[in-house]
Structure 1
């Protein structure tokens, strides 16, 4: 019985360790280029935004366009945000990184990819 209990504890501990490792790591924007194509978390202040359509909005992070540090592209109707309330707020976003016209960009599709700080 002791062996079974020890076995279950080891299995449970390794499962939690594996799940914790799958969480995206948090980086600063200076490390962005090294992680293009990967899912990461970046935290920055929302300076401005541009609504392109009812399904695409661009958030300029860390500065106003065209001097933003990176852009968050919010895509899809599932995300219901009050963009006026986001201006000036420090948020963390988790998503896939890419470069668009030599500018860092992150794509998000779900509200759970945004955390308010």
Structure 2
């Protein structure tokens, strides 16, 4: 779950919001996930949202593992991105931030926020 308060807290004193969404895709769903979720969200995000960086990556040793590198200028831009995802993939479960259709492909998922060093 991506916490708005965590994102807002993170942005205090930082110029950008850097985050990585990573996880493991359920067996037998890998190609479908990359085609129907990763490729579609990549295209829609780059067309409609204000992502500074939005790039999916597939693990070279285990195609079921992925990460999505994201960089946003503001929490508002990230919230607008979620609206794009909801239009494309449907609503989220009450306790989650991402659409259920995305999470249904995954055995595990996590979001980490990062800050620049130096």
| Range of TM-score over shorter length | under 0.3
> Comparing both structures, which one devotes a greater share of its residues to helix?
2
Which is higher, the Rg of structure 1 or of structure 2?
1
Q: Per chain length, whose mean CA-contact separation is higher, i.e. which structure has more relative contact order (CA < 8 Å, sep 6+)?
A: 2
> Comparing both structures, which one devotes a greater share of its residues to strand?
1
